[in-house]
Amino acid sequence: MSILERIIADKIKEIELKKSIIPIGQLEQSILFERPKNSLKKRLSESKSGIIAEHKRRSPSKAVINQSLNIQDVAKGYETAGVCGMSVLTDTKYFGGNIEDLLLARGSCQLPLLRKDFIIDAYQIFEAKAYGADVILLIAAALSRKEILNLSTMAKQLNLEILLEVHNEEELQKALMPSLDMIGVNNRNLKTFEVDLKHSMELSSKIPENFAKVSESGISSTEAIKTLQPFGYQGFLIGENFMKTNSPGESASEFIKKLSR
């Protein structure tokens, strides 16, 4: 089994357990369910930096990145730095996050929040809404076209935006549909974990203009962003570069200042 297949197999078990503890009807009673959406797509269209800063404790490829930080401090720091949005990894087994991280981030900042997880079931979308997300991530490699359509349509009904992640043209063509808001090109090869910005460059012309383009993984310098902006990218998902420091907020602030010079 590939790492993605292992994650999905574990995710199916996790979701079944969660459904038995907190049913969807209970999630719908969350006070955050009535909260108006804070649009990440709109923020990206108005920004010069386009930074989506991530909270990530660890990953399968890098083991521990930073497990000592308080997510409330990270969220406040990112907001002060002037990022466009915050990505919160909520997968526990492989990334060390949890759904409570989303709630804590929501209580600490007004940024658009992206729930980053391996979303395969409508339950996770209700959960994202109940815990304060504005955007959900759907991963084309993990879903069929029908599943992407069903999940994105459900997210739209709950007034959430959708960032669809692709790795190649085949995934992009399979997944393009009107119910999406943003297309994220992951520069990391899921089989080798190698990173190459050429993935974003090569796919840029294949993404229709009505979707905001986001480049993900391996963006560690302002030069990388300046290289990708002419290809139409408005958003840049950065996690490890900020999270490996003692103060991700200050790191993001310095990065944005350098970018604007």
SS (H, E, C) the chain: CCHHHHHHHHHHHHHHHHHHHCCHHHHCCCHHHHCCCCCHHHHHHHCCCCEEEEECCEECCCEECCCCCCHHHHHHHHHHHCCCEEEEECCCCCCCCCHHHHHHHHCCCCCCEEEECCCCCHHHHHHHHHCCCCEEEEEHHHCCHHHHHHHHHHHHHCCCEEEEEECCHHHHHHHCCCCCCEEEEECECCCCCCECCHHHHHHHCCCCCCCEEEEECCCCCHHHHHHHHHHCEEEEEECHHHHCCCCHHHHHHHHHHHHHC
Tens of pLDDT, residue by residue over 53-92, are: 999 998 877 778 888 899 999 999 999 999 999 999 999 9
Closest CA to 111 of 86, 90, 93, 89: 86
| Residue 13: pLDDT band with limits 50, 70, 90 | very high
For residue 106, what pLDDT is reported? Answer: 98
From 79, 127, 165, 171, the catalytic residue = 165
| Residue 100: pLDDT band with limits 50, 70, 90 | very high
For residue 65, what pLDDT is reported? Answer: 81
pTM of the model: 0.96
Q: Is 221 a catalytic residue?
A: no
For residue 67, what pLDDT is reported? Answer: 82
Mean pLDDT of 207-216: 97
For residue 188, what pLDDT is reported? Answer: 86
CA gap 129, 114 in Å, rounded: 10
From 217, 241, 251, 253, the catalytic residue = 217
With a CB cutoff of 8 Å and minimum separation 6, the contacts of 162 are 135, 136, 138, 152, 155, 156, 179, 180, 181, 182
Closest CA to 165 of 185, 195, 150, 192: 185
Tens of pLDDT, residue by residue over 170-194, are: 999 999 999 999 999 999 876 677 8
From 11, 38, 49, 54, the catalytic residue = 54
For residue 251, what pLDDT is reported? Answer: 97
Q: Is 41 a catalytic residue?
A: no
Mean pLDDT of 99-127: 98
Q: Is 217 a catalytic residue?
A: yes
Q: Is 37 a catalytic residue?
A: no
From 38, 41, 49, 56, the catalytic residue = 56
Mean pLDDT of 116-132: 98
From 127, 161, 216, 240, the catalytic residue = 216
